[in-house]
A and B are shown apart, each in its own frame.
Chain A
Amino acid sequence: MGTYDYQTYDVIKPRELDGQRSDAPVVIVGAGPIGLAAAIDLALQGIKTIVVDDNNVVSVGSRAICWAKRSLEIFDRLGVGQRMLEKGVTWQLGRVHVGDEQVYTFDLLPEAGHQYPAFINLQQYYVEQYLIERCADFPDLIEIRFKNKVVAVRNQPDQVELDLETPFGDYTLNAQWLIACDGAKSFVRDALGLQFKGQVFDEQFLIADIKMEADFPSERWFWFMPTFHPGQSALLHKQPDNIYRIDLQLGADADVALEKQPERVIPRIKKVVGERPFELDWVSVYQFRCAKLDRFVHDRVVFAGDSAHVVSPFGARGGNGGIHDIDNLGWKLARVVRGEADTSLMETYNQERVYGSEENIRNSTWTTQYMSPETSVATLFRDAVLDLAKTRAFARRMVNAGRLSVPCVLEEFALQTPSPAISTVRTGQVCPDAPLSLNGRPQWLLPMLGGAFKLLCVGCEIRVNGLESIVIGDGGYEDATGKAVKDYGQGVYLIRPDQHVAAQWTAPTESDILSALARAGGEQC
């Protein structure tokens, strides 16, 4: 089984076993999408990392497929966004059926003027492969050590020590910081004795990837109680390489071992896709949970991705949420390692991403409860919404087949300078993209905003020492479509390295800007 050609990556003897030392200030545990993204983000900041993983292949089987617009923008900053876009299946239309009748369609990005679409579908193994290949662009800054398994962690106030097992022998590594990206079953989390609190859902889901020649459009099709799968829900989604993802709700009592048997799976899938020939690429049965750590920073150990939080996959908030973690973490940790900010900046990572993950968990929990109601009252109301949705527009919006991942707004947190909004763009929000040009050459706004603090000046020009200004209008970039002015109005924005707005003004003084910059950079938090 399997269309993707899984490569095994070279396993190299760690230099510690030859009596040498490493000087990377940061060790990342886990070479999943989140750990790899962390290594690249830190490399872009000039920070050296060692990534250790107990395995030497990319993610096997059916896991993440949906990558949301905001994650693609982050992947773009990391240097893999275009490659993902080219390979991925772009989609933005969702169709929701009740029984066999379509009751609802939603278009996720009706507005033009963004470089990246609402969503692409791309198998997790491709994403990890692209990230591993991107890491190779930083040979002096990123070292990936495959088949290096962490077996002990000693977290100290000013450094961290970990023991590793490798095919060549065991050794110990020291670092200033450890980022635990070791997934939902995180060893590091257990080693620190941290609780992972949340809720397990009884419902079981069959998740299958099939290979099939078909002309299904690039859309997300969801069914509540279709005749081909009575009483349960079903989802069909297209991926590259003629692979389709099918999720079938099986109920709480389904027998996992039995349901994974091809002789059970194939007839179920035939009912979805009809008589078209197909091959099974991967099949698994999952039970989902929503859980998180109370805190993501514990002395010198920082949690990101599934080690910090897990959600049911129906809003595509797992991998996407983890990528948002790294976007928030990379520049902060780099500033702390470089000595530009003290460790209190790490506390803002904790606060902002705990908040983000709570939003993701809340939404995923609501969706899961809606899709697989656990009480008779919940079923009663769910069915009432579905009945009304056939004729009533208001009820259609209440049908919850997944509220898909969106970035959160960080307005209330310490790094942002409270300021009245001068446009529709709120402080703490991710900057909306806009198509610009300079001397006739097209240029998207967002790629100019990442990586460092920047000033975005719309319809005016302000320059402050040590801060790059991006000027739109007024002799700077042209905004031919008017989208930038429509969104941003006229004024000045301080933009964080993760493209969130830290402050905004119509006419700031230099000292307004410098104090907002000091605050956003963690000098006053």
Chain B
Amino acid sequence: MLNLDYNFADQHDQLYNELLLLHDGLDADQSQALNARLILILMNHIGDADVLREAFKAAQL
């Protein structure tokens, strides 16, 4: 089951900031590419096809 409850252990501001820092100095295409790589890494970590399909749906709003 996809977890859509809060799960950041109070580190969300810190991690959000680190995510943005990753993009420092990148142009739009490089940023897109970085986001894509990041999504693929996280998808692999999750692995479970059902969970991932639920996430695909959730992202469509």
Contact = CB atoms under 8 A, between A and B. Distances in A.
A392 B61 CA distance: 10
A403 to B, nearest CB: 7
B13 interface: yes
Contact of B17 (A369, A385, A387, A392): A369
Given A375-B23, A393-B5, A397-B12, 20 more contacts: A363-B13, A366-B16, A369-B20, A375-B20, A376-B28, A377-B20, A377-B31, A381-B20, A387-B61, A388-B61, A392-B4, A393-B6, A394-B6, A394-B7, A394-B8, A397-B6, A398-B8, A398-B12, A398-B16, A400-B13
Interface residues of A, number: 20
Contacts of A363: 13
A439 interface: no
A381 B13 CA distance: 13
A520 to B, nearest CB: 28
Interface string B49-61: 0000000001001
Interface in A345-389: 363, 366, 369-370, 375-378, 381, 385, 387-388
Interface of A: 363, 366, 369-370, 375-378, 381, 385, 387-388, 391-394, 397-398, 400, 403
A370 B16 CA distance: 9
B26 to A, nearest CB: 8
B40 interface: no
B19 interface: yes
Contact of B5 (A377, A388, A394): A394
A396 to B, nearest CB: 8
Contacts of B58: 392
Given A377-B23, A387-B61, A392-B58, A397 B8 contact: yes
| Residue in B5, B7, B13, B23 whose Cβ sees the most chain A Cβ within 10 Å | B13
Contacts of B20: 369, 375, 377-378, 381
